Amino acid sequence: MDYTTKDLAELIFPDLPYTIEDLNRMFPPRNLKEGAMVTRFAPSPTGFLHTGSLFTALVAQKAAKQSGGVFYVRLEDTDSKREVVGSSKELLEQLKEFDVIPDEGYLGDGEKGQYGPYQQSKRADIYKAVIKELIIKGRAYPCFCSVDDLNRLRETQERNKQIPGYYGRYASCRSLTLEQQIARIKNGEPYVIRFRSLGNHNHKIEVTDLVRGRLFLAQNDQDIVILKSDGLPTYHFAHLVDDHFMHTTVVSRGEEWLSSLPLHLELFETMEWEPPHYAHLPVIMKLDNGNKRKLSKRKDDEAAISFFLKDGYPKEAIIEYLFTIANSNYEEWHAKNPSLTFENFHFTFEKMSLDGALFDLSKLQFLARETMVKFSPKEMKDKALAYAKQYNPELERVILSNPNYFEQIMAIEKDKANPRKDYMKYSELLDKNRFFYNEFFEEMVKEAAPFNPLFPKEVIVSILQEFADTLNFEVPEQEWFEGLKKLANKYHFADNNKIYKANRETYIGHVGDVAEMIRIALTTSKQSPNLYYILKILGKEEVKRRINLAIEKL
């Protein structure tokens, strides 16, 4: 009997709900203006949101937004073995924390858009419709080789120093006759569908990558699996079908995909579909024992973006940092336009660096300080509260106990030309300000006060006593400080360190030493923010109480 490829195709896919023509009608071209980019973020739900993934998502969204295009999310959940339940939803939630909100696609709970479904596991019939066409064209065929067969093949090839893989004369199933194929399928033998490549590994093709420019790569000649035995497609094939029907114009993805680009191009060519533009992004690296390597999910805490969130870094700083890696001119631009954000910046793929940047924590920390200093006291309180609700119940309780008081603490020196930059993460907020709260202060004050042993106790007591008695901070800071100097003078402390150093016989210290005594009495520590502000926030009564407490202890 004479079989045709059509018979084969019908045998494998007897009842498909639609044909390619149907699909083309179902997913018409998008109506977008010239130059608008359609980009996507296509994660697989295998765990948490990787720092590198956030980076690519941010870039894809930015490219779409600034061009007036569409950014969508597609779930690449074709590997049921590696899937981590619940992670896809979590992924979208974390994305949202960074303002990466898709215009369409998979949303974590449901989806929106005209080009769905946006979960690959729900698109099986779409892939099959395309594969059916490929089989009819003779460009796809069933392969009955077992995993063991393939392993043996690879071992042989490696032993003989041949390029490993299923291609050319090693692709045994590609030369099976239609009769044989049909008979074995009818016989119930398990199989996968492979693409029949017409490429030649010795021929080079020229490709253009948006970030890397012109490249010459070897043609693909591998008959890769396009449909796995579980009926789901492999990445390569899903990429072809989805990015075609979803009308993606720019595929941005990690550079690990560069080497499969010739394959993807051959796939598009075979279907006579116009391929998208490609942008292969550098991967974020880490220095490990002097060697650069990819941030690893298993080894590196910072590979999970949630690590930074938990630690309390503001998301604005993380985005900021990722953008400095994405486009090196971003930092300079931002320095010139401090009031603008990355949303106003014009990003280009061409300006991306080609090799993966080392993740630089101290740079992130620097940016985090810069970011947090710009928050108003109210923003600081709101953001800290949002953080605390999720990660730090103690901080939450403290803020909620008196939100206004917390804002006052956050306002310290905010009105100055050079405001303090002492916070880089929300998690520091409590520890640096515990002394403001009596519940903690009562505990802290039980420790020995670190007064300078150089000064006699009686002197310290007298100074503190007089300070409390003449307490007046209802005047401008400068005036208040002048008063402090007078007090210092009275007890033979110089106006400043310089005078003291020049006249060690006349003075026993300088005003800084006096300030330290007060600071210790008020905060139990030698270091604290500006004293004047502390006095104001604590209030007269509390200041007096704390000073008396200190005197008693002395």
Partner RNA sequence: GGCCUGCUGGUGAAGCGGUUUAACACAUAGCCCUCUCAAGGCUACAUACAAGGGUUCGAACCCCUUGCAGGUCACCA
Interface residue with RNA among 55, 257, 387, 455 (CB under 7 A) is: 257
> Which residue of 277, 297, 363, 414 would you call a contact of RNA, by CB under 7 A?
363
Q: Is 166 in the site for RNA (CB under 7 A)?
A: yes
Looking at beta carbons only, is 25 or 498 nearer to RNA? 498
- Quote the CA–CA distance of 512 and 533 in Å, as a whole number: 16
User: From the list 297, 420, 540, 545, which residue makes contact with RNA (rule: CB under 7 A)?
Assistant: 420
Instruction: Map 478-517 to HEC letters.
Output: HHHHHHHHHHHHHCCEECCHHHHHHCCCCCCEEHHHHHHH
105 binds RNA (CB under 7 A): no
Q: Tell me if 177 contacts RNA by CB under 7 A.
A: no
Determine which residue in the list 54, 380, 532, 546 makes contact with RNA, applying CB under 7 A: 532
**Count of residues near RNA by CB under 7 A:** 91
Q: Which two tokens stand for residue 541?
A: 């009564």
215 binds RNA (CB under 7 A): yes
Least separation, in Å, of the C-beta of 307 and RNA?
18
Taking each helix axis as running N to C, give the angle between helix 531-538 and helix 511-523, from 0 to 180 degrees, rounded to the nearest 10. Answer: 30
C-alpha–C-alpha distance, residues 389 and 248, integer Å = 39
Sequence-ordered list of residues with C-beta below 8 angstroms from that of 308, at least 6 positions apart, any chain: 51, 302, 318, 364
Given candidates 197, 324, 371, 427, which one binds RNA under the rule CB under 7 A? 324
CB of 390: closest distance to RNA in angstroms? 26
Question: In this chain, which of 498, 501, 504, 553 binds RNA, going by CB under 7 A?
Answer: 498
* Both structure tokens of 403: 């939100």
Q: Which residues neighbour 541 within 8 Å (Cβ) at sequence distance 6 or greater?
A: none
Q: Cα 487 from chain centroid? A: 53
Of 178, 185, 258, 461, the residue at the interface with RNA (CB under 7 A) is 258
The only residue of 9, 12, 38, 42 in contact with RNA, by rule CB under 7 A: 42
Contact status, residue 525 vs residue 515, Cβ threshold 8 Å: no
Q: Which of 5, 51, 78, 181 binds RNA (CB under 7 A)?
A: 78
Through-space distance between the first and last CA atoms of the chain, rounded to whole angstroms: 108
Q: Which residues contact 62 (CB under 8 A, 6 or more apart)?
A: 326, 342, 347
Q: Please say whether the beta carbons of 390 and 338 come within 8 A.
A: no
Residue number with CB closer to RNA (36 or 421): 421
Residue number with CB closer to RNA (115 or 396) = 115
**Interacting residues with RNA between 422 and 461 (CB under 7 A):** 422
Binding segment toward RNA, per CB under 7 A, in 174-182, 269-277, 307-315, 529-537: 529-537
Of 368-387, binders to RNA (CB under 7 A) are 369
